[in-house]
Amino acid sequence: MTAATHTRRDFSRVLSQTLAAALAAPNLSSLAPHPLDAPQTKPMPAGPIRLNFNENPYGASAKARAALADCAALSNRYPDEAYRQVIAALAQKFNVKPENIILGCGSTEILRAADDAFLDPTRNVVAAAPTFEAVLDYARVLHSNAVLIPLTSDYRHDLPKMAAACTSKTGVAYICNPNNPTGTIVTRDELAAFVQAVPPTTLIVVDEAYYHLADDRRYSSALEFIPAYPNVIVARTFSKIYGMAGMRLGYAIGAKEPIARLHAELLQDNGNAAVLQAALASLADNDHVATCRAQLNATRQWLCTELTKDSRPFIPSQANFVMLDLGAEVRPIIEQFRARNVIVGRRFASMPNFLRVTIGTQPETEAFLATLREIAPANPARAAA
């Protein structure tokens, strides 16, 4: 493919073109509940093992919890100063300017803002299938068409086909790396070829929610591409490695112009005093990040080794979850786990035989495996082979 020539003039033109369409965008209330959300509304059993939402079982760091305990005295004050401090801390961490950072109520708000800023009924979104669905859900609200590119035979983004699908009518190209729900990655070289091939008028959103869990040497953050390709932004979250899923804080890093456009779509005062103080403490606690990464990846490796002993097919993962191919419709199996107080991931329509399980603590993951062996015993002949 021929590399596209990227200029700030091209990108600025798209910004102005999409502004008028954004003013006529429909209300978010038109977003119907995702059809797969219904099973998640069932009452939770007492004291379950929760392995369904890819949460960090070790939680926030001790420093972050101490910051939360101390923030009660700040509850009567708006958190403007803490907001600026978190942005400044992130800017320092990534060696960028504060104008290159925005915060969101979870990274999902970042993804919504990207859609609001760059999609409309005349501009489509290109994404893998399956992948994290927030970008696609918000695109439906804007009556923007989704161009879905099936994963490769090894369950990875097919970036050449995704690049070929991006045209002058593509507002957003979304890459989840590592991908949810498969846990697979695109490599640094594959991503480099993709950003060169995509039109400069398309916003490339690289969702790196699971960045810290990837240990494949071929993996690299998309941050390095931002200086040369101002249409690239990176979305990250405090929900995973930082153990703050219940606090709701995410952020995006990008060039000044697209970040400003996304900022215009954010809710006002979208970060509360408690989460901002916890975020500051978390960013200063590298030991907690390293410990969680080591523990989760060691447990992931243990589980995959045991699955291999059982001759159970699974997708090699670079995240804090694993997808198992159980060879049959998983909905009744999910319910059998629930009956045993183990809550696993939901069914994915395009992968109906696959079960996604979050990596919990070592004891939680051992309990999952024991339950799996009870519900669906390993084939002795295959396991011995």
Whether 44 and 173 share a structural domain? no
**pTM as predicted:** 0.87
Assigned domain for 229 exists: yes
On whether both 278 and 310 belong to a single domain, the answer is no
- The token duo for 194 is 């993709």
Residues 171 and 255 in one domain: yes
Q: What angle do CA 110, 112, 115 make, to 5 degrees?
A: 110
Could you give the residue ranges of the DSSP H alpha helices within 239-330? 256-263, 273-283, 286-309
Q: What are phi and psi of 218, to 5 degrees?
A: -80, -10
Q: Are 170 and 135 in contact (CB under 8 A)?
A: no
Residue closest to 349 by CA, chosen among 331, 372, 325: 331
Among residues 255, 283, 311, the one where a domain terminates is 283
Q: Do 269 and 331 fall within a single domain? A: no
Mean pLDDT calculated for residue range 345-352: 96
Asked whether residue 14 is domain-assigned, the answer is no
CA within 13 Å, CB half, 220: 11
Query: What's the whole-number average pLDDT of the chain?
Result: 90
Statement to judge: residues 121 and 202 lie in one domain = yes
Q: How confident is the model at residue 27 (pLDDT cuts 50, 70, 90)?
A: very low
Nearest CA to 341 out of 86, 119, 43, 106 is that of: 43
Q: Would you state the structure tokens that stand for residue 14, as one six-digit string?
A: 């798209």
Q: Which amino acid is at 147?
A: V
Return d(Cα 48, Cα 45) in angstroms, integer: 6
Q: Which of 251, 283, 315 is the last residue of a domain?
A: 283
> Which of 227, 260, 283 is the C-terminal boundary of a domain?
283
In the chain, which residue ranges form alpha helices assigned H by DSSP? 8-23, 62-70, 80-94, 107-118, 134-141, 159-165, 188-197, 256-263, 273-283, 286-309, 331-339, 362-375, 380-384
CB 207 within 8 A of CB 114: no
In three-state secondary structure terms, 344 is strand
Give me the CATH number covering residue 149.
Answer: 3.40.640.10
Position 380 scores a pLDDT of: 58
Asked whether residue 2 is assigned to any structural domain, the reply reads no
Cis? peptide before 130, omega within 30° of 0 = yes
Q: Specify which of 12-16, 32-36, 39-43, 241-245 reaches the highest per-range mean pLDDT.
A: 241-245
What CATH code is carried by the domain that includes residue 328?
3.90.1150.10
Are 220 and 298 contained in the same domain?
no
- Residue 117: pLDDT over 90: yes
Instruction: Tell me, yes or no, whether 96 and 122 share the same domain.
Output: yes
Are the beta carbons of 101 and 90 closer than 8 angstroms? yes
What gap in Å lies between CA 276 and CA 68, rounded to an integer? 9
With respect to residue 28, please indicate whether it lies within any of the assigned structural domains.
Answer: no
119 and 233 assigned to the same domain = yes
Q: Is pLDDT at 29 greater than 90 in this prediction?
A: no
Query: Rounded distance, CA 314 to CA 24, Å?
Result: 45
The answer to whether position 6 is within a domain reads: no
Q: Does residue 38 register a pLDDT over 50?
A: no
Least confident residue range of 8-22, 27-41, 237-251: 27-41
Res 361 pLDDT > 90:
yes
The whole domain housing 331 covers: 38-58+287-384
Q: Which residues make Cβ contacts (< 8 Å) with residue 34, sequence separation at least 6?
A: 133, 137
What is the number of structural domains in the chain? Answer: 2
Alpha-carbon separation of residue 24 from 123, 141, 143, 144 (angstroms): 14, 12, 11, 13
User: Is 80 exceeded by the pLDDT of residue 16?
Assistant: no
Residue 1 placed within a domain: no
- pLDDT category at 359 given cuts 50, 70, 90 is very high
**Residue 246 near residue 105, CB atoms below 8 Å:** no
Residues 224, 166, single domain; the answer is: yes
Q: Which residue has the tokens 């804080």?
A: 249
Token pair listed for 203: 């916003």
Same domain, 48 and 98: no
- For residues 220 and 309, membership in a common domain is answered with no
Is 23 a domain residue? no
Q: Give yes or no: residues 165 and 309 share one domain.
A: no
Contact 252, 262 (CB under 8 A): yes
What pLDDT was estimated at residue 382?
A: 53
Q: Which of 220, 85, 232 has its CA nearest to residue 173?
A: 232
Give 65's Cβ-side CA count (13 Å radius).
7
pLDDT at 269: 87
Residue 17 domain flag: no
